[in-house]
Amino acid sequence: MPTPRIVIIGGGFGGLYTAQHLKHAPAQVTLIDRRNFHLFQPLLYQVATGGLSPANIAAPLRSILKRQRNTEVLLAEVMNIDPAAQRIDFADGESINYDYLVVATGASHNYFGNDQWSQFAPGLKSIEDATEIRRKVLMAFETAEREPDAERRKALLRFVVVGGGPTGVELAGTLGEISRETLKHDFRHINPADAEILLVEALDRILTPYDPSLSEKAKQQLEDLGVKVMLKTMVTDIQANSLRLKHGESEQTLETYNILWGAGVQASPLGAVLNRATGVALDRAGRVTVEPDMSIPGHPNLFVIGDMSLFLHQTGKPLPGVAQAAMQQGKYVAKLIQTRLSQPNHTPAPFSYYDKGSMSTIGRSKAVAQTGNLKFSGWIAWMMWLFIHVLFLVRFENQILVLLQWSGNYFTRNRSARLITGEHHELLPEVSRAIPAPESAKDRIKDPAVESTQQSRI
């Protein structure tokens, strides 16, 4: 009998954990990703704000799995899955067959039908997103330093973060720190602390997955950093140099060159591929509805895990789109497949999520955390967050470097990775004074059902 082949698509938390838990499986394991590294997404905002370098939060997949002899890493882009033929087709025309398949290709942002906004309001999902945001933010200060007109300077130093989930809160808090602390002595013609940082949230509080008391604490901590939190406020339009906001009946247009998108979830397009091939149901965010064992109905050897799966929690709610859930699912599926290799008719207990709690950081000594009925905020929550994240980075071989870099940042309030790199390092284009006031106000930008899954991702 030939060695069974287990194929995993995606090297994020779900896919990588599946592969690692198949270490002793009598099978050939193939992990496929478009990129050659695993990305520690929960710290991506640190790269976007110049606190860490890309390599601090990414590790080559080959390096992580080099000693795992039954496993190979394949750098390739999957275009199609054929569950009937048990075959995967790559973008370059090649194909491979599988005996078991685990799909874990995650999710990206959701502009809720306004994809044209993405060019003006980048989201934060990849290393390239992070260095692009870093470039834009730093160039805004540089351009303001050379801008003689006071009104234009004000617009250049206006930063708008859309979405009061963990990503938006982290970005807004860090922008507050950068403008108030890091850049304090750097400029001669502007005061970076004059930067206006707005956090826009459609619901009536930020960090909705948390207890309302923690949402309020997080808001206060953001305000201490100079961030203006705008609740019950919707984005109705985004143009190159402006943003239109609606709060109740009143609308306003703000001139701004820095809009960061932290709202919404859109599952990987491979969800739609599986839907066409098997008829499996997708939700509005494109997530694949899975069975209690994370498989697809009618395909017991095909599993979907992590952010691209829709799994109903014991409580009846969908699981949050966090690393913790993806990791537990990866471990569960790996054990299930390994058991099936020796007992083909094994019926497993359904997957059960163990919620270890949630934590979100806001800035230096500022965070909120919640586990069971326990709630923490401020310095103690931040220390918990720091401890758990550093512990986590152990897998990355460079945790000590990150800890040292952070210690350095903490004491010096410096952020040494604030390089403006990439093809476009010229100053921002000439500021357009005439701001178009669009008439067609979109009625909503946020889907609370989707947004509620955007919890802290660890």
**Which of 66, 232 has the CB closer to its own copies?**
66
Q: How many CB atoms lie within 10 A of CB 184?
A: 13
CA 268 to chain centre: 13
Interface stretch with its own copies, choices 67-75, 101-109, 115-123, 373-381 (CB under 8 A): 67-75
Between CA 162 and CA 422 the distance in angstroms is: 25
35: contact with its own copies by CB under 8 A: yes
Output the smallest distance, CB 407 to its own copies, in A. 10
**Which of 350, 408 has the CB closer to its own copies?**
408
417: contact with its own copies by CB under 8 A: yes
398: contact with its own copies by CB under 8 A: yes
Binding mask 139-168 for its own copies (x = CB under 8 A): ---x--xx----------------------
| DSSP bridge partners of 230 | 200
CA 63 to chain centre: 23
Output the smallest distance, CB 45 to its own copies, in A. 16
User: Which backbone phi and psi does 337 adopt, to 5 degrees?
Assistant: -65, -45
**Which of 66, 356 has the CB closer to its own copies?**
66
CA atoms within 13 A on the CB side of 134: 25
**Which of 360, 405 has the CB closer to its own copies?**
405
**Which of 101, 417 has the CB closer to its own copies?**
417
Taking alpha carbons only, the member of 379, 453, 458, 443 closest to residue 43 is: 458
Output the smallest distance, CB 185 to its own copies, in A. 4
Q: Which of 5, 62, 205, 247 binds its own copies (CB under 8 A)?
A: 62
| 170 has catalytic annotation | yes
380: contact with its own copies by CB under 8 A: no
**Which of 347, 412 has the CB closer to its own copies?**
412
Which residues in 415-452 are b (16+ Cβ under 10 Å) and which e? bebbebeeeeeeebeebeeebeeeeeebeebbbeebbb
- CB-count exposure of residue 55 (10 Å: 0-12, 13-18, 19+): middle
**Pair 353, 328: CB distance under 8 Å:** yes
Output the smallest distance, CB 410 to its own copies, in A. 14
Q: Which of 23, 76, 224, 283 binds its own copies (CB under 8 A)?
A: 76
Q: Which of 55, 231, 282, 341 binds its own copies (CB under 8 A)?
A: 55
Catalytic-role residue among 142, 151, 170, 397? 170
Q: Which of 124, 138, 175, 319 binds its own copies (CB under 8 A)?
A: 138
**Pair 121, 263: CB distance under 8 Å:** no
Interface stretch with its own copies, choices 109-117, 124-132, 245-253, 348-356 (CB under 8 A): 124-132
Q: How many CB atoms lie within 10 A of CB 193?
A: 13
Task: Dump the DSSP string for 374-438.
Answer: EEEETHHHHHHHHHHHHHHGGGGT-HHHHHHHHHHHHHH---TT----SS--SPPPPPP------
Output the smallest distance, CB 419 to its own copies, in A. 5
> Of 159-218, which residues contact its own copies (CB under 8 A)?
183, 185-189
CA separation, residue 312 to residues 15, 167, 288, 327, 449 (Å): 20, 24, 11, 16, 13
Place of tokens 């048990």: 86
Binding mask 87-106 for its own copies (x = CB under 8 A): ----xx-x------------
63: contact with its own copies by CB under 8 A: yes
- As a whole number of Å, the end-to-end CA separation of the chain is 41
411: contact with its own copies by CB under 8 A: no
**Pair 393, 402: CB distance under 8 Å:** yes
432: contact with its own copies by CB under 8 A: no
Size of the site for its own copies (CB under 8 A): 58
**Which of 56, 110 has the CB closer to its own copies?**
56
User: Which positions are annotated as active-site residues?
Assistant: 170
Chain residues in the site for its own copies (CB under 8 A) = 34-37, 53-56, 58-60, 62-63, 66-67, 72-77, 91-92, 94, 127-128, 131, 138, 142, 145-146, 183, 185-189, 396-398, 400-401, 404-405, 408, 412, 414, 416-423, 425-427
